[in-house]
Amino acid sequence: MSHSETKAKCLKVMNESGRVGNCDAAKQDGLNFYKYKFGHHPDLRVYFKGAENFTPTDVQNSDRFAKQGICVRQNLMLAVRILIDTYDDSETFKAYAREIINRHIKFKMDRALWTKFFTLFVNNLKEHTTVDEETEKAFQQI
């Protein structure tokens, strides 16, 4: 699959369930990822100090995720979009991916988690929109 085909497939799904912006739907898209993560991967809660015992319902109703989380949620969706948009510019893509990883060093995240991110991300998207096999492969390619 070419870089432009990969980008197009990923962006189509992102436009349905991975939006950025201040509208309620975009805010919920970001929140849905954290709800998915807390519900399906409770082992990752350790990276959210003070929310280690949160359930997906707690995430949805939490002031923490409602207020400070707006920035975090939008940063996540924006970061994924930037990775997709820069995929055909190898130097920029690698530099941005490296910057994201460096930003998370302070959380002492296991490096193995980075290779699993898009699997987790796509599984969340599948709960809210259709993700065909080719699109899933496109996300994994990125």
Per-residue model confidence (pLDDT) at position 72: 66
Residues 27-46 pLDDT 10s: 899 889 999 999 999 999 99
**Residue 135 buriedness (CB in 10 A; 0-12 / 13-18 / 19+):** buried
Contact 98, 106 (CB under 8 A): no
| Per-domain boundaries in the chain | 3-141
Taking the C-alpha atoms of residue 74 and residue 24, their distance in angstroms, rounded to an integer, is: 12
> Does the domain at residues 3-141 carry the CATH identifier 3.90.480.20?
no
pLDDT bracket for residue 21 (50, 70, 90): confident
Residues 61-71 pLDDT 10s: 998 887 655 66
For residue 52, report the phi and psi dihedrals to the nearest 5 degrees.
-60, -25
Per-residue model confidence (pLDDT) at position 70: 61
- The three-class DSSP label of residue 3 is helix
Residues 88-132 pLDDT 10s: 999 999 999 999 988 888 888 887 888 889 999 999 999 999 999
For residue 37, the 8-state DSSP code is H
pLDDT above 70 as % of the chain: 95
Per-residue model confidence (pLDDT) at position 116: 86
Taking the C-alpha atoms of residue 39 and residue 130, their distance in angstroms, rounded to an integer, is: 20
For residue 81, pLDDT over 70 is answered with yes
